[in-house]
Amino acid sequence: MSAMVQKLVAFQRGEIVRHLQCLSAGDRRLRFGTYMTDGAIENYVRGISFARDKVFGIHEYDLTLSGLAHLALDSERDAAELGLSVLPGHRGRGYGYALLTRARLHARTLGYKKLYMHCLAENQVMIHLARKAGMTVVTAQGEADAHAQLTDATYGDLAHEFIGDQIALVDFLLKQQARWMPRSL
C-alpha cells in the first residue's frame, strides 16, 4: 500500500517543528543546506505561509509525522520549490517519492510551470529521488539543482488530487480514532 499523503494546515505547526527537530544534525544540514538549530527550525516553521505555500505530510499509525514536504510557491516566477524530509526509521519505504509526486501534482493543478529542488551535491538520496521523478539534475560547486517543467493539469489530475485528499483525510481520522480506542475490549 502506498503512503497516504495529507495536506497539513497551520495548526499543525507544532507537529512540523517536532518532525524537523527529530532530524540529526547531519540530516538537518542535508535538508536545509546548512545546520539548523532547534530555534532556527522554529523560526522556519513560523515563517511558512499556509495561505500561499502548501505543506504535505505522512502520518504513522501513532500519528507521528514521519515524512514532510514543503512546497514554496512563487507566483511571480511561476515556479514551486520543494523541500523534503523523512525520519530515519521510515526511509526506504517510498515516502520521499510519494511526497514529491503529491507536491508535483498540486503544483500542476495550481497551474505552476516549473518544479525545482535545491540540495547539497552530497545528498545522493535527494538526487536519486529527483532523477527517479524525471527531473533534470545539475551539479556544480558542491550544490545540486533539480528541475522539471510541469505540464498543464488535466481533469483527471484534478480528480486524482481531490480523491487523494479525501482518502488521506479518512486515513488520518481512522488513525486518530484508533488512538482513542481502549486497548482492551
* Span 4-63, pLDDT tens digits: 999 999 999 999 999 999 999 999 999 999 999 999 999 999 999 999 999 999 999 999
Other C-beta atoms within 10 Å of 136: how many?
12
Question: How many Å is the maximal CA-CA distance in the chain?
Answer: 60
Distances (CA, A) of 23 to 27, 48, 97, 104, 151: 6, 19, 18, 24, 34
Find out whether 110 and 102 touch, Cβ atoms under 8 Å. Answer: no
Question: For 133-147, what is the mean pLDDT?
Answer: 94
Residue 149: pLDDT above 80? yes
CB 108 within 8 A of CB 75: no
Q: Which helix (H) or strand (E) holds 119?
A: strand 114-120
CATH top class, domain 5-178: alpha beta
- The residue to which cell 482492551 is assigned: 184
Residue 121 phi/psi, 5° resolution? -60, -25
Q: Minimal CA–CA distance to 29: which of 156, 168, 162, 123?
A: 123
Give the separation between CA 106 and CA 59, rounded to whole angstroms: 19
Cα separation of 84 and 135, whole Å? 15
Q: Which pTM does this prediction carry?
A: 0.90
Q: What is the mean pLDDT of residues 149-154?
A: 92
